[in-house]
Structure 1
């Protein structure tokens, strides 16, 4: 029995295509999709990471949707229950705003969520 292996150059186009497709999905939609496949605590952790990087106006808007979500030190901190109340469109808006205010948030989120879901 002979096993034939494809050369690295034969796989290069498909790997490049897969990478470009992955990069084509905007950050806000990636976050929204990730939250749909995450447990409530993971959702809260992710949203809390995003909230550190948004404007006060965004925090006020979110408070209008889910109520008070500040911790004892006055920092934004949603609970898993509150995270579940945030509609996907608002999560995408939070992610877009966080990305605008802190472009490094994409890499920060990627490293934090590595291995969460398959």
Structure 2
């Protein structure tokens, strides 16, 4: 199940680079982090599409909800990036992004029954 690992690592990179982009005072570092995040979307979407077929038979409703929340999350991240570029980013929007990343990640771990992290706990 290498796809699960790629998907998980991609979302971890997206989490870190999004936080760096939103909290960094350096414009150059923020822009680089935003670009890395956007490349991460591509990997997350491709691996997510390939993983849907594994999760759907066991949890069809939750799988659909996760797909929708993942798309909404990408939209919220992009809204936060746009407001950051206009220098109007609020702390509330920043925490909303972090909350949604954790929500989608937690739902993903639930759908895989904790795999691959349950191997190490």
So what's the TM-score if we normalise by structure 2?
0.34
Larger radius of gyration: 1
Higher relative contact order (CA 8 A, sep 6+): 1
